[in-house]
Structures are given as C-alpha cells and as structure tokens.
Structure 1
Amino acid sequence: MKILIADDHDLVRDTLVAFVEACGDIQTETAPDLDTACSLVDSSGPFDLVLLDLNMPGMNGLDGLERALSMDKAPRVALISGQASREVAEKALECGAAGFVPKTLPAKSLVNAIKFMAMGEQYAPVDFMTAEPATAEHPMASQLTGRERQVLKGLTKGQSNKEIARDLDLSEPTIKLHVKTLYRKIGAANRTQAALLAREVGLF
C-alpha cells in the first residue's frame, strides 16, 4: 500500500508517517504543500491514498481537494484537519473525497481510517459528523456568574426565591441578593423581565 501525506507542519507530518509506517505494510511519501504533493503524484504515482491537510499552502479551501481529485494518479484523496467544521467535511465528501480525518483521532484509529480509505471505502468519524454545532455564547451569559445563571434559570421557570433557595440549597436572603445583582447586570427591572430577556437570547 502506497500513500502520500501532505501537511505543512513538519511535526504533524513526521508523526503521521511514524504512526503509519509502524504497521509495516504501508509505504509513505510526504509533501509540505499542495504543489509539491501534485508533483509527487505525477512523478511517483499512482498512490492508493493521498492525504491532504486542509489548511496547508496551495489548498485554498476545497479547491485544492478538487485539483488533486482531477489527477489520474490520485484516484483516492482524503482531507485531514484539526480545525474544519462538519459542514466542510460534508462538502468534501460530496466533492468525492475518500474521507475526512480529524487530527484529534487516536493513532490506532487514524491508521485504521487510512487503510480503510486506501482500500476503496469512504471514511468520516461518526461522532464528528453527528456532533451538534457549537453555538456562540450570548454576551449576557458571560456577564453572569455560574450561581447567577442558576438563579436566572429558576426565574425563567417562574420559581419564587424560596423555591430557588431550596433547589440550590442556599438561604433565601442569598438568593434575593443574587436576583438583585443579576437584574443590574442584564438590565432587568423585575422577575418577569429578567425571565423574558433570558429566553429572548436563548439562554434557557
């Protein structure tokens, strides 16, 4: 099995080669950018798999993937990245990529993924592809302490200070103080307004 690993970080490239060659049955070549990778495909191909770092020089997003896929001696091209979103991974697969490999994969899983793709299968880790996209936290949330957020959650449920105090195992005067502080922080005049503001920005 013969694969090409292209990544502009020497350490990442060397580590990937070490992982892969430890298997004993995979021959590797490396490149630091897309132009070098394409030259190697022409001069040393065909490769069973070409693994391209999404963010290395020459890639220009998915344009680099499409360029590599158009080469006769690179029938199977996959992306590897430490930063790409699920949306980018999905687009890469739609373009015809052999797979998408997050750099966070454990070594053994990474090698198995490479073998899997080189043998003609399409690979993308299920947990990455099904993860909920992270949502940016609203500025209101960052203004509040963890305890104040717990109290505000109680307000959105329509709870009284006494009920919130019971749930959080705190005294009622302490809850009253937290309520007063969070009113000031989020610009609310009363409990109803605080609850409405929290719901409006999607805090709860």
Structure 2
Amino acid sequence: MAHEVIVMKQPQSVAPRTVPHITTLLICRNTVLHAGLRHILSDTPFALADDVVDPASDISAFAGSEPALILLCESLSPDEYLEILEPLKAQCPAARVVVLADHLEPNAVVRLCEAGLNGLCSPAMDGSSLVTALELVMAGETFLPAAIGLALLEQLSRRSLPDAQVVKATPIAGPAGRLSDREARILQCLMQGDSNKMIARQLDITEATVKVYIKSILRKVQAANRTQAALWAQQHLQHSG
C-alpha cells in the first residue's frame, strides 16, 4: 500500500519592507478636505500630523524632520499665499511646500515658485495622482498642473516670437544638436506635462529608464528640473525643423 509523505517546511521569516517616513504638516481649515486628505494619505509614506498647523505658528521644531512636506490647503490670494510661504520656508528651509488650489493664474504661480513653492495640485485630483505628485515633489521635482505649464509656455512663446523667427532661419546648435531622437521625444512629453509613468507607457520603456533619460536631458540643456527643461524645449525643439 502506497503511503504519501508530507514534508513540512519551517516558515521563513520575511523582513518587513522599510517604508520611508515623511513628516507631513497640513494647513487647512476645511474639515471635509482635511478628512479626505487624511484618508488619501493613509498607508502611504506621508505621515500626516495629528493637528492642523496654524499659518502663524512656529514650526521651526520640524526643521530637522527631513524629509518634511507642508500642504497648504487654503483658498487665498497670491499675496496671502506669499505671506504664508515665505515664513514657512524661512523656518524650515528643507521642507517642501505644496499648495492645493485651482484658482491661481500662471503669473501668480511663477511668483510663488520664485518664493519657494515646490508644487501646485488641484483639489479635484484623484487620490493616486495626488500621491504620485507629492512623491515627485519629495524627489526634488517641481509639480505644476498641465494647464498651468501650457499657459506659461504659451506666454513665453509669445514673448520670444522675434527670437523664434530668427531661430527658424538658423540651424540649431549647442545642446539641441546633441539630443538623441529618444531624448527629444521625451522632451516633447515633458512639454505636455506627462508623468514618468505616462512617458514609459508611450515609449514602451521602464520608468527607471525614463528617469535616466531625463537626468541626461537636464544635464545637456543645463536645466535644474523638468519644468525648466520643458521651457527650454518650447524655445528650441519646436523651431528646429
């Protein structure tokens, strides 16, 4: 009579995955929005502080909490945002500041970015997109809605129209001539506000490969971030033909 032999293996212990902890402060008097953000950011690296921060309060105690994120979710005028943003950056220079708003004009956004704003997100964004945008900000990127970016590019294009006409008659020299076809394609995607994931899907490559290409592009066009690279492309790539 045949017998079955059952071999019992000892379960192997699996080391818990280390999730980066990002101290996240919230400036928001809207209790509904506060509750929604707390739900969206649960089970993410963004550890939302228990209490809502008052804009006038001293938050210098968080200066050593790196990385740190400050979410500003108040419907204010550009000048009021500046009055809050400047002291925040002075108290916590390393903190990244993101505003949740959808009423700001492009020129106002430029002023805020010059004062240290690191990101602008729409309150209408779905949760996963918001988390992705915040992750990009914490990775050193400046995140702006596509509509704002396109409006800024259009303004820049109108201001530089005489120069653009000269460029059409003169072959492009310098970094544009050293960009590969793939790098030029990725730059066009950056101009459209595409995320790394969207670019990877369009070009059928991995997100890690996209990051490598973007790093190379930033070096070649001497840009500090993808927004500056998109502005550079608006002035050069579209007129290279």
TM range (shorter): 0.5 to 0.7
CA offset digits 1:66-125 (Å, max 9, x no partner): 111111365322222142222222221122211111212222111111111122221112
Instruction: Report the equivalent of 2:135.
Output: 115
Instruction: Note the C-alpha offset of 1:44.
Output: 4.3
Partner AA of 1:7 in structure 2: C
Give the counterpart of 1:78 among 98, 111, 117: 98
| 1:6 maps to 2:24 | no
Aligned partner (choices 124, 130, 138) of residue 104 of structure 1: 124
* SS of residue matched to 1:61: helix
Q: Which residue of 2 aligns with 1:153?
A: none
The residue that corresponds to 1:42 in the other structure is 60
Change (3 A) 1:76 1:32: closer
Cα separation, 1, equivalents of 2:95 and 2:62: 14
Contact (CA 8 Å) 1:77, 1:98: kept in 2 or not?
yes
| Residues 18 and 67 of structure 1, relative CA distance in 2, 3 Å threshold | same
CA distance in 2, matches of 1:83, 1:28: 25
Per the alignment, residue 83 of structure 2 pairs with: 63
The superposition leaves residues 35-72 of structure 1 with CA deviations (integer Å, 9 ceiling, x where unpaired) of 24xx3x3334525211112436xx82321111111113
2:27/2:74 contact within 8 Å kept: no
For residue 16 of structure 1, what is the aligned residue in structure 2?
A: 37
Q: Structure 2: where are the runs of 5+ without partners?
A: 1-21, 153-241
Q: How does 1:180-195 map to 2 (within 5 A)?
A: none
Mark the CA change 1:131 to 1:106 in structure 2 (over 3 Å): closer, same or farther: farther
- Contact conserved, 2:89 with 2:95, CA < 8 A, in 1? yes
3-state SS in 1 of match to 2:39? helix
Cα deviation, residue 10, structure 1: 0.7
8 Å contact 1:52–1:80 — kept in the other structure?
Answer: yes
% same residue: 18
Q: Tell me, yes or no, if the aligned pair for 2:29 and 2:74 is still in contact at 8 Å.
A: no
Residue segments in structure 1 that go unaligned for 5+ positions in a row? 133-204
SS across alignment from 2:95: coil
Higher Cα Rg, which structure: 1
Return the offset for 1:131: 4.7
Aligned CA-pair RMSD:
2.6
In 2 relative to 1, CA 2–61 (structure 1 residues): closer, same or farther, beyond 3 Å? closer
**Preserved CA contact (<8 Å) 2:68 2:94:** yes
Q: 1:126-166, CA deviations, whole angstroms, 9 ceiling, x for partnerless residues? A: 2333259xxxxxxxxxxxxxxxxxxxxxxxxxxxxxxxxxx
Give the count of matched residue pairs.
127
Separation of aligned partners in 2, 1:70 and 1:17: 26
The equivalent position to 2:110 in structure 1, one of 90, 114, 120, is 90
Alignment match, 1:173: none
TM-score normalized with structure 2 length: 0.46
Report if aligned partners of 2:25, 2:53 keep a CA contact under 8 Å in 1. no
Q: Is the 8 A contact 1:68 1:74 kept in 2?
A: no
